[in-house]
Amino acid sequence: MTERFRDVSPEDAELEPILDGLFAEYAARYGDYFSRDAEVEQTEWYLAPQGLFIVLERDGAIIATGAYKPYDEQTAEIKRIWTDKTLRQQGLAGRVVAELERRARLAGYVQMYLTTGFRQPEAVRLYLSQGYQPQFDLDRDPEEYSRPPFDGRLRFTKALALPVLSKSA
């Protein structure tokens, strides 16, 4: 069993069924809740040097995806975290997030930002387990974040550790 990360363009045809499935999963959870303010995505946001879209492959098959795009000059925003439904609960999404962080650090980012929806408790657990700081009250019923003045998005941030430089004599 061989696994590897590979950089891709979000427009690659091989991603189309995966992204369609991801958005179908969102629709199943939220209906048209987020469609009223759907963001316009630009491919170049996810391309080097400012962005990145990766897949995790096992024996040549895509088993997980993730991306980041610039949020501001010092912050990368994580997007498109997906794991094959048959392979969930195996730590794959955590590996993708860790790789995105590593690559963002190499690209010069010092902080990560992300949002997840109010009906994705498994995503909240993932980001908390990866050291992300919630920018919302964890003790509040997540459904409350679907009503004004909130927009349904649960926000997280994480400062990226700077690489340790060795001192040479």
pLDDT digits (tens, 9 = 90+) for 88-135: 999 999 999 999 999 999 999 999 999 999 999 999 999 999 999 999
Per-residue confidence (pLDDT) for residue 45, from 0 to 100: 94
164, pLDDT greater than 80: no
Contact 48, 54 (CB under 8 A): no
- Segment of 19-23, 45-49, 75-79 carrying the highest mean pLDDT: 75-79
- Helix, strand, coil content of the chain in percent (nearest 5): 35, 30, 35
Per-residue confidence (pLDDT) for residue 23, from 0 to 100: 87
pLDDT digits (tens, 9 = 90+) for 8-46: 999 999 999 998 888 888 889 988 887 655 667 889 999
Per-residue confidence (pLDDT) for residue 157, from 0 to 100: 98
163, pLDDT greater than 70: no
Contact 92, 83 (CB under 8 A): yes
Rounded Cα distance, 74 and 67, in Å: 16
Q: What is the pTM of this model?
A: 0.90
What are φ and ψ of residue 53, in 5° steps?
-130, 125
70, pLDDT greater than 80: yes
CA atoms within 13 A on the CB side of 67: 24
pLDDT (average), residues 46-71: 96
Hey, what are 100's tokens? 């995105």
Per-residue confidence (pLDDT) for residue 161, from 0 to 100: 81
Rounded Cα distance, 114 and 157, in Å: 7
Which residue type, as a one-letter code, is found at position 164?
V
